[in-house]
Amino acid sequence: MQSASPGAAWLDRTKTAIIDLLFPPHCVACHRLSAWLCVDCLQAIEVIQPPVCQRCGLSLGGVQAPDPSESTCRRCQGAPLQVDGLLAYGVHSGPLRQAIREFKYSDLRSLAGPLGQLMSEGWTTLAPQDLQPDVIVPVPLHPSRQRQRGYNQAALLARELGSSLRRPVIQDVLVRIKATAPQVELSAQERRVNVHNAFRCTDNSLSGKHVLLIDDVCTTGATLESACVALRETGTLSVWAYTLARARS
């Protein structure tokens, strides 16, 4: 089991700072020359505020709210997830959605820093006080998809978060063995079928560990669920998931 080098995030930030100096960033949402996400667009992000359902990561406000003493919404009480808990920084809409699109599909790796910082800030308000992961594991891409894109956006976010939380990031144990179709155009049921048995662990080095699983977006949770099943088969003690964005429903 190998963890990402502690200096890797620092090196990436240094490279980013040099690139930003030579090519000043513009806001990916409004295109204003200032930062990759300007102050106005940052304020426009719909940040998920506690209290949240610890199963689906959505707000406990409104009709979803159970008894105030409960930590899960009515929907999750009827259909619990495989993961022990799910958290997300914000709703997948507006400037955050646009930033993630550019981050994933326009080779804007410079966004890893500011987006990872948002996840770090969200963690301090969303995570239960007793949630102390031993390791951080990004959801992997299939090797063919990673070669095509050149990087795994979830791994870049995990590296930033790992640096903030001072937790090792493990990238070589959970692997994607099934070249799945893009999830974006699929229904909820099709997503579950698409990622069924898509992951496996290469060894049992995560046995006895509390794992924090990282991805950029959670829509139905199918990908996170499939990855969680693979992790549980190695004997992990718990698997929580944390994503940058979460679909509203």
Position 58 confidence tier, pLDDT thresholds 50, 70, 90: confident
Q: Answer whether residue 178 is part of any domain.
A: yes
Q: Answer whether residue 124 is part of any domain.
A: yes
As a whole number of angstroms, the distance between CA 89 and CA 43 comes to: 13
Position 185 confidence tier, pLDDT thresholds 50, 70, 90: low
Q: Could you tell me the residue range of the domain that residue 72 belongs to? A: 8-246
Q: Answer whether residue 3 is part of any domain.
A: no
Q: Answer whether residue 1 is part of any domain.
A: no
Q: Answer whether residue 43 is part of any domain.
A: yes
- Give the per-residue pLDDT at 152: 97
Q: Answer whether residue 2 is part of any domain.
A: no
Alpha helices in 23-168 (DSSP H): 39-44, 74-78, 94-105, 112-126, 143-149, 153-165
List, for residues 117-169, the tens digit of each pLDDT value: 999 999 999 999 899 999 999 999 999 999 999 999 999 999 999 999 999 99
State the DSSP string of 52-77. Answer: B-TTT--B--GGG---TT-SS-HHHH
Q: How many domains are there within the chain?
A: 1
List, for residues 19-48, the tens digit of each pLDDT value: 555 567 889 999 988 789 999 999 999 999
Q: Answer whether residue 69 is part of any domain.
A: yes
- Give the per-residue pLDDT at 220: 87
Q: Answer whether residue 23 is part of any domain.
A: yes
Q: What percent of the chain has pLDDT over 70?
A: 83
